[in-house]
Amino acid sequence: MQEPIYLDHAATTPLRPEALEAMLPYFSGVFGNPSSVHRFGRDAKAALEAARDALAARLGCSASELVFTSGGTESDNLALLGAALAAPEGRRKVVTTAVEHHAVLHAAEELERLGFEVVYLPVDATGRVDVDAARAAIDERAAVVSVMFGNNEVGTLQPIEAIGAMCRERGVPFHVDAVQALGHARIDLSRLPVDLMSFSAHKVGGPKGVGLLYARRRVKLHARSFGGSQERSRRPGTENVAGAVGFAAAAGLACDALEARTAELASLREAMLAVFARELAPDAFVVNGHPTERLPHVLNVSFPGASTESVLMNLDLEGIAAASGSACSSGSLRPSHVLLAMGLPEERVRSAVRFSFGEGNCLKSVTFAAEKVATIVRRLTYK
């Protein structure tokens, strides 16, 4: 019997055994509260700060600039709401894009309710932001700009260096959602013109329930929760020590093997497309996203004539997991806001499937899955 094949690593990844092993002592033996001054607390605090130091070394920043959170969503919310509410008087404008994760878009909507003007930058048919539109939108009224590193649905990389340079020129804090990029693209915060950057452990083989926000030393953040002085009062509450330790272990493995890892995942992506080209008619599938500026592990394909839900249901019956887009909206029949923003025809939007690759995938399993996809698509579109 065929083993289940998991092709939804952009939603979450299996916990790396090395991360689990690193975490285990902090579920039992080292159980102290890192805010306590006695030995039990000091042992937990030492582990927390070691994890912070390790992550800072991987990211090219100071450990004091890293804030542990509960995940990417909280990191995005703290970045946008925190920076906007801390902005000087007269800066009441938020600039973001139409293809952001809902953690950013819903935070922007909340700021709009609080009286901020929100500008949503358009993207082209590949999902890439118009740099000229960004230049026109980022002015002296901007409180914060937020543009993701790589899109979670189609994998398109954004011109964050160019947009970051504009923000630096105008003195505007620049936030980047890098949840999908960590472990798949080289990130050096000592070089990038970025002030705030969000990460999540469970996208790189770490545990769920822990994230990270990089906040450059001179950036002002208005706290979004209250009740303690943890994380330099930027995110109060007892820290998830085991989660932080697991995050550091998983991120270290992903970053150390980045070149080999990205090459392997890109080859799996190409292998799936090669099967589609061999098994399906040229007009039976179309790839969504940028042809070259993209994350290596994400492949979004439309199968005109076959609905997304039908393809996913049939794949699930075959033991193959894929997705319709972002994990936070899977299970919803609403069309992808990303694909709609890209201006794709309705038939492409309603037949799009996201495949994302990672640990446990190999050429054999991906080829098998691709052949099953082709069989299902031929059956669903047979006339």
Q: Catalytic site residues? A: 328
**Tokens in use for 58?**
């991987």
| Amino acid making up residue 212 | L
Return the C-alpha torsion angle 60, 202, 231, 181, nearest 10.
30
Question: Percentage helix, strand, coil, to 5, in the chain?
Answer: 45, 15, 40
Evaluate whether 203 touches 152 at the Cβ level (below 8 Å): no
CB of 145 within 8 A of CB of 171? no
As a whole number of angstroms, the distance between CA 361 and CA 356 comes to 10
Angle at 229 (CA atoms; ends 227, 234), nearest 5 degrees: 90
CB 220, CB 77: distance < 8 Å: no
Q: How many residues does the chain have?
A: 383
**From edge to edge, which strands make up the β-sheet containing 93-97?**
66-69, 211-215, 196-200, 174-177, 142-146, 93-97, 117-121
DSSP annotation string for 311-335: HHHHHHHTTEE-BSS-GGGTT--SP
* Strand-pair partners of 190: none
DSSP character string of 159-214? -HHHHHHHHHHHT--EEEE-TTTBTTB---TTTS--SEEEEEGGGTT--TT-EEEE
Query: Do the Cβ atoms of 353 and 8 come closer than 8 Å?
Result: no
DSSP state of 379: H
Tokens of residue 68, six digits: 């542990």
Using alpha carbons only, how large is the chain's radius of gyration in Å?
A: 21
